Structure 1
Amino acid sequence: MLDGRDLWDYEHRFLHRKVALVSQSPALFARSLHANIAYGLGEQSPEEVRQAAQRAGAHRFIDGLSRGYNTDAGDTGGQISGGQKQAIAIARALIRDPRVLILDDVTSALDTESQQQVENEIYEGTARSRRSVLLISHRLRTVERADRILVMEEGQIREEGTHQQLMRKRGAYWQLLQTQQNGAEGQRPQAGEWASVAEALNSSL
């Protein structure tokens, strides 16, 4: 459902304009980093691409490359690291200014500084743009500021609430947080363990 209507009621081109997805293993193309960020949008100025990269925490590493934004990503992005691919994919989503942004564990390969940049964009940038963010994450630290947290097990919602509410319940969310604080931060839960999905902000198209 989207705004109370079945997704099938929407014309797919409309959804493509309004919804952006960044997956755990994003696909890049054998072309420049500039072209990868602006992919599918036609001509985008260097300044527009740079601003999107800054918001995604990608500008810092791109600026350090000898060819900068003209660097070829290589086939499937093979010329850059996994974390850099994630940052480029996030920039590619943000430059579209989507009303709904879906992020599937996208900070898993980012360095600490880039991860902090992305988290700031998720929460502070979302508040400014009135964007809805669906953040799927196993790193509970990244979802603590979400407006609504859903804890899922085997496809079923087991708990729902804010970080403070779920901590007071001392249920599955609390247990997983204790596990991560004791040294399992960032590890993907094994079969049968708890994962979390956080919706950072509610918005309307």
Structure 2
Amino acid sequence: STVAALLQNLYQPTGGRLLLDGKPISEYEHCYLHRQVTSVEQEPGLFSGSVRDNIAYGLKSCSDEKVMAAAQAANAHGFIQELEHGLSTDVGEKGKQLAAGQRQCLAIARALVRNPRVLILDEATSALDVQCEQALQDWKSHGDRTVLVIAHRLQTVQSADQVLVLRQGELREHSELMEGQDLYSRLVQQLLE
């Protein structure tokens, strides 16, 4: 979560530099950065209103086709089509009319409809069922963007192109950690068996 906040320039690092396309993140205009970097948190922020309004929240014009394309990419289209009023269905206060996994899928769709260059999923798949999570793990299908997945479960990142581990305040590469015989390498070996 700290990494996600730093990437969104919500606060500055106490040491080192954080670069986006070779430029310090602090040099980007706030509005520009937030159009380019979108984050989905573990507990999505939905509001009382329709499914469509929750996905297109904050966008001046967004067609139903674009909303449904984002819903499909977030693996939410199936349950949306099953809702009595589809995109017009009211999700209730904080989305409480929906299951936790459905709320997370809507939050992911809200991020995808914006077509960000960097998508941060900060434990955003923790409430998804296995089938939905596996569908979303095809990160390459999410277009020409970087997807940063922050997760505590190894299964969530097993299909990622690169895995980095934040350990005791230091970012370390998966391959480096696999060379050792510590808890991390043993857990990965168990997962692969």
Shift of 1:53: 0.5
CA contact (8 A) 1:151 1:173 kept: no
Shift of 1:101: 0.6
Could you tell me which residue of structure 1 aligns to residue 167 of structure 2?
A: 153
> Where does structure 2 lack aligned partners over 5 or more consecutive residues?
1-17
> Where does structure 1 lack aligned partners over 5 or more consecutive residues?
183-205
Which of the numbers 102, 109, 133 marks the counterpart of 2:147? Answer: 133
| Structure 1 residues 94 and 14, CA gap change in structure 2 (3 angstroms) | same
Which of the numbers 79, 90, 95 marks the counterpart of 1:72? Answer: 90
Could you tell me which residue of structure 1 aligns to residue 182 of structure 2?
A: 171
Deviations 1:117-163 (A, max 9, x none): 2112x2x224xx32111110112122123232222234333x3135x
Identity of aligned residues (%): 47
Shift of 1:116: 1.6
CA contact (8 A) 2:137 2:157 kept: no
TM-score by length of 1: 0.77
CA contact (8 A) 1:20 1:102 kept: yes
Equivalent residue runs for 1:31-50 within 5 Å: 31-50=49-68
Q: Whole-Å Cα distance in 2 between the matches of residues 153 and 89 of structure 1? A: 28
| Structure 1 residues 166 and 153, CA gap change in structure 2 (3 angstroms) | closer
RMSD: 2.1
Q: Whole-Å Cα distance in 1 between the matches of residues 101 and 134 of structure 2? A: 13
CA contact (8 A) 1:20 1:98 kept: yes
TM-score by length of 2: 0.82
Could you tell me which residue of structure 2 aligns to residue 14 of structure 1?
A: 32
Q: Whole-Å Cα distance in 2 between the matches of residues 154 and 74 of structure 1? A: 40
Shift of 1:106: 1.3
Figure out how many residues of one structure are paired with residues of the other and give that number: 175
